[in-house]
Chains A and B, each alone.
Chain A
């Protein structure tokens, strides 16, 4: 097991080196650049040259690349072009917000998706099942930003059920411990702050969860139907086991395998969706940071670090998925 994890970590390192290189050259091949973005179109050639030199973009590309690698290895991603702060500071400020949102979305998607998928499978071909198929199809098809604005407009403007934007009401949650507002409130015993942060979290998390939720429902349904046809379920029936025992012990665990894989694969969709969701609800996490860093300033250092971070998150989540696979299925355990 330890060797497997080690091997995967080495793979992770190799993937990151390749990705870093790609990202570095890909960003620089985009039209425009930090200099244009910061100075605008009417700047004089002198000013432009000055800034180019100040930022080090007058150096040959290989020198820039070498410096970038050096920075990554030392864990220092340089300073943000936009704000001048160290990149790590900028990112660590936004990171908890996105993780909080993404975790809430995963909890919703898994917590609702598996039971609903199971229920649909048990009602195969009947009204509930058909309704599930239609609703999940809509859930998969509807764009996040569209659903986001729709829910926001309806549930915060027409019906004042949820707060329209932000992570917490002003005046609450002033103690910053971890940056996860719901958790901070619990840690500092400011339960009103926790509740308020949770209330702010509901709509964005649900918006972000729709696509993974719909997919998990579908996969669970299909997977349960597959398992119900297996010979070992017939054996369990032949033993005279009670329905709940068969479902809990024999069906669910086998049916979970494809679902777990799906959860890992959905991490990517979740990261992409977070960008849109954060925009809609003015969330102020990594998604907001990434749009700001592309649009306003072509903030190369921040963008490079963000993309690498996304890759690390994706790879680590999938490593965890593989490890949990080994827990669920003895056949993939390595000796």
Chain B
């Protein structure tokens, strides 16, 4: 049985006086215990909204969430807010994109780690702080005893993200959701944080949902990858499969756009033409069609369904052909 089973999840933002926006459009995917699953796509494709919807962290007003988010045997979407609070931080941890703004500037780091232990494990402040020191040590923050008393602005960016990871993993959750955890960090620190995350999930058996636009992160970390476009999953495959043989033209375009060291430097980088604003609504065909190099007449007209494939799933009328071994 999967640990997390997201079924037909949709999020519609609706504000008075504006047309409703479907940010997430029938997304389904599963996460097995201990597995690392990637949600990949460009800005605005709905990957962050998906994660916030799973956690129940979307603003209470102005949006409608439908579908099911089965965590083990419970549908998180049907839980009362109090019940969900009992699970957040205990069963599911989450880390965010910007480590500075995600930590409270006026509270010492130690308290920010300790409070999650006090909340879910009934620890006293004293005991929680002691454990917090061990946690900071475990995520590689030097001199943790001193850091406990410090404030977020006194830490470097990498250390702040390490602290957030310590907070998210403090109660040994079975699932960790990481929403672009390395985007705000510089490249060398990115690599350290990814290595740390990989070690921690491997050691603890925590399942990880990795949300990113960075295919390098996917390549290094994820077992299964879901590529999102305009609120829908367009391709799902194992990591190796996806990189070796992308079937959706969008995935293919993304992979070709990654700068490579083994081609001559002078050439232009590949780019996917057009922009997200060129999309057509899904009910009128494939949203990606106006930007697609492989577009055919059949791409326009009806919603293209997500069909299961040998490797995973694919939503495309005219996919990139498999390389046939000669």
Contacts and interface: CB of A to CB of B under 8 A. Distances in A.
Contacts of B89: 238-241
B104 A254 contact: yes
A239 B113 CA distance: 10
A236 interface: yes
Interface string A302-332: 0000000000000000000000000011110
Interface in B97-123: 98, 101-107, 115-116, 119-120
Interface stretch (B80-88, B244-252, B265-273, B284-292): B80-88
B115 A231 contact: no
Contacts of A328: 106
Interface residues of A, number: 21
A234 B153 CA distance: 18
B94 interface: yes
A254 B106 contact: yes
A30 B203 CA distance: 82
Contacts of B107: 249-250, 253
Contact of A240 (B102, B105, B119, B164): B119
Contacts of A154: none
Contacts of A232: 101-105
Contacts of A230: 101
Contacts of A241: 85, 89, 115-116, 119
A316 B302 CA distance: 72
A240 B105 CA distance: 19
Contact of A330 (B57, B93, B106, B116): B106
Contacts of B104: 232, 235-236, 250, 254
Contact of B105 (A236, A237, A249, A331): A331
Nearest to A257: B106
Contacts of B229: none
A158 interface: no
A47 B89 CA distance: 87
Interface of B: 55, 57, 84-90, 93-94, 96, 98, 101-107, 115-116, 119-120, 151, 153, 164, 167-168
17 contacts: A230-B101, A231-B102, A232-B105, A235-B102, A238-B57, A238-B89, A238-B93, A238-B94, A239-B115, A239-B119, A240-B87, A242-B85, A245-B119, A250-B107, A253-B107, A328-B106, A329-B105
Interface of A: 230-232, 234-242, 245, 249-250, 253-254, 328-331
Given A240-B119, A331-B105, 6 more contacts: A232-B102, A235-B164, A238-B93, A238-B96, A239-B116, A241-B85
